[in-house]
Amino acid sequence: MKKYFLLFILFTFIGKLYSQKKPPLMELNNDINLSGLSDSIRNNYGDQKSTRLLKNLDAKIEDYLIINHYGDTIIVDTSLTINKFHKINYLRNDNFELIPFSNTGHTYNNLSYNSTNSQLFPSFGSRAKHYSYMEIEDVNYYDMPTPFTELMYRSVFEQGQLLDALYSVNTNRQFNFTISRKGLRSLGNYQHFLTSTSNFKFSTNYNSKNKRYKLRTHYVSQKLFAEQNGGIRDEDILDFENGTDQFLDRSVFDPYFENADNELSGRRYYIDNSYNLSNQNDSIRTNSLVIGNTISYEKRYYKFNQSSANEYFGDSYNLSLIDDKSRLRSFLFKIGADYKTKKIGDFGVSLEYNNHKYNFGNLDSLNISGFSNSIKYDGMIFSGSYLKSSDKFKINANFSSSIADNVSGNSLGGSLDYNLNEDINIKGNISLSSHQPNYNFSLFKSNYISYNWENNFENIENREFNVEFKSNKYFNLRLDYLDIKNYAYFTKNNLNVVKPFQHLDNINIIKFRVSREFSINKFFFDNQIQYQKVSNGTGVINLPELIARNSIYFSSHLLDKAVFLQTGFSFSYFSKYYMNSYDPLLSEFYVQNSKKIGGFPLMDFFVNAKIQQTRLYFKLEHFNSSFTGYNFYSAPNYPYRDFSFRFGLVWNFFL
């Protein structure tokens, strides 16, 4: 019924789209900046005989808006830059601090540490599956003067493709709806390592004519499936690293098992609306009061399936079929108010009700003695915020505190963003937080006997300070200092079994990153290097001391500016360290201190081109793999990618 309801809404919106009145034709204005318009729109301006698209003469590229979860607005960007090149991947983000597994759609290993959890309630476990899972904060909303489409294609590894498609349209100036889906299927080069993922999103964005009422909604449905093989066997490591001819065909390797897979799936319904009690048309008024309400309901599932038990994970209760399932149902109801003044700033308060139920489906019937069947959390969170901004600076402060009986946690943060001049920006940020570890640490149940535990860990306490210096003329610099207490992690115990642990002492991490791009005529040099050091936590948090990425490329217009070209080399490197291992049953990474990995260069040759609104990407990925040594890994027993040819494109349509 839910699917039919969504289809009904969709067809209703489309009907409104085609029944709306056409805007009147506009005359050409001499001061229109044609270079600021999309190519498709600009070309139709030049055709005086065409009346079909003259109605869009007022549609400029800066009118195509993307609004993130926090209300920040950016303009659709069709440019071709080196930063765009680094984001043409499965996550569509810069992977500077990550190294992917050999097949697209599998997990990533972290090369750095970031305290990303801003929630006071525990998060769902199996964090290795969540890199491409859309959280509430990852959903964007749109405001488009004309229908807008974006297609992203990327080649993968054997028998498959990656396609990310988005369509966004305003039925009128007040209402927008957007549909997007990212689909992937990739067989991979190793036995039983297939991936198949789907991320579907439907979102709406509404603003009333008097601009007093705003409504944003979204529905997401996600399914992230991957076959698991445990990696190549220890006895095959030498054949891989020596480049034995027989094993250059990676499908020849016999992995630890070929009968397992895991899957993360979820559905979420989200509504966020607000109403301004003040009259927006009153030009004298300098303050306003906005009340708001947010509702979110989500079900999230994780499954590990194996047709028969394997000694890789130890003894099991069931030898014929392993069918482990965990699930989290979460409900959020939030009310809040914001008082905005031009002189003093904006003050906000909110009260948030959360209800969590975490259990293990069919595993509850095992009735393993000494362990609970589920975890239930029910409580309130009180939050406050302050914001003051001007052309030169922006001050932001916020706090949250849990007032639940069975969930304790709090957070406090503040930032200062200052524009010294048109080129230099300085930003400082400080945050303090206390929150529970994810659910996998607190309670886990499995058909495998060793993978059953229940813990009452202390809250993880994070104290973080960072400062950023940004300048196109000089360089970009960022310094982070983190102090972590009661850090929760997975590692193998004395019986060689992966278990959760907690480090009760303080761990200190310092990170220093500097980046700079400079040019000589049409040759560009883009450099980024990061130094990081862990104190008091060696063997608990392991990080490479050095991460570097350098790109050298030629960039110029060709064919009477019909084509914009970028071509060159990209070099990535991280120093040797005790890289975390991967557990496919938990879908978590665990600490190991027996084998150092790293110190291998990753070299790519690329040719990028922009033709009108289409960006093309050609890459010879890791072309040095055969002559710099087969010592490259994404995790112990999981080799990194061999040399491959990759093709991708991003195509924008403005109708």
Average pLDDT over residues 177-205: 98
pLDDT at 14: 38
pLDDT at position 43 over 50: no
CA-based max dimension of the chain: 80
Q: Which tokens is 566 given?
A: 């970028």
**632 with 600: CB under 8 angstroms?**
yes
Closest CA to 487 of 462, 509, 460: 460
**What one-character-per-residue DSSP string does 581-605 give?**
EEETTTTEEEB--S--B----EEEE
Burial label, 278 (beta-carbon count in 10 A; 0-12, 13-18, 19+): middle
Closest CA to 410 of 384, 433, 428: 433
pLDDT at 282: 63
Beta-strand pair 460-471/476-492: antiparallel
Within 493-601, strands assigned E span: 498-520, 523-535, 546-558, 563-574, 581-583, 588-590
- Say which amino acid occupies 160: G
> CA 61, CA 270: separation in Å to the nearest integer?
29
pLDDT at 540: 96
pLDDT at position 592 over 90: yes
**Helix, strand and coil in the chain, % to nearest 5:** 10, 50, 40
pLDDT at 364: 59
SS3 571: strand
For 29, how many CA atoms within 13 A lie in the half-sphere containing its CB? 10
> CA 81, CA 76: separation in Å to the nearest integer?
14
How far is residue 440 from each of residues 73, 222, 302, 482, measured CA to CA in Å?
36, 20, 11, 24
> CA 85, CA 549: separation in Å to the nearest integer?
13
Q: Please, which pLDDT band fits residue 366 given cuts at 50, 70 and 90? A: low
Phi, psi torsion values for 155, nearest 5 degrees: -70, 155
Beta-strand pair 322-341/108-110: unpaired
**End-to-end Cα, the chain, rounded Å:** 33
Within 3-119, strands assigned E span: 65-67, 73-75, 98-100, 108-110
Helix and strand counts by DSSP (H, E) for the chain: 5, 33
CA angle centred on 184, ends 115 and 302, rounded to 5°: 55
The separation between CA 330 and the C-alpha centre of its own chain, rounded to angstroms, equals 20
Residue 330 parent element (H or E): strand 322-341
**What one-character-per-residue DSSP string does 481-510 give?**
EEEEEEEEEEEE-TTS-EEEEEEEEEEEEE
Report pLDDT digits (tens) over 257-314.
999 999 999 999 999 999 999 876 666 667 899 999 999 999 999 999 999 999 999 9
Closest CA to 654 of 45, 162, 164, 22: 45
Closest CA to 441 of 428, 423, 429, 459: 459
Report pLDDT digits (tens) over 515-546.
999 999 999 999 999 999 999 888 999 999 99
- Say which amino acid occupies 265: S
Q: What is the pTM of this model?
A: 0.89
CATH classification for the domain delimited by 64-654, as one of 3.30.2290.10, 2.40.110.10, 2.40.170.20, 3.40.50.720: 2.40.170.20
> CA 244, CA 382: separation in Å to the nearest integer?
61
Q: Please, which pLDDT band fits residue 25 given cuts at 50, 70 and 90? A: very low
Residue whose token pair is 């991460």: 547
Least confident of 9-13, 191-195, 444-448: 9-13
Report pLDDT digits (tens) over 546-569.
999 999 999 999 999 999 999 999
> CA 246, CA 253: separation in Å to the nearest integer?
9
> CA 526, CA 642: separation in Å to the nearest integer?
24
pLDDT at position 384 over 50: yes
Q: Please, which pLDDT band fits residue 423 given cuts at 50, 70 and 90? A: very high
Q: Please, which pLDDT band fits residue 365 given cuts at 50, 70 and 90? A: low
Local structure of residue 316 (DSSP, 8 states): B
CA angle centred on 504, ends 465 and 404, rounded to 5°: 75
Closest CA to 487 of 77, 117, 90, 7: 117
**What one-character-per-residue DSSP string does 34-46 give?**
GGGS-HHHHHHHT
Closest CA to 449 of 369, 358, 362: 369
Q: Please, which pLDDT band fits residue 117 given cuts at 50, 70 and 90? A: low
Closest CA to 339 of 292, 385, 290: 290
Q: Which tokens is 361 given?
A: 């489906």
Three-state DSSP string of 192-239: CCCEEEEEEEEEEEEECCCCCEEEEEEEEEEEEEEEECCCECHHHHHH
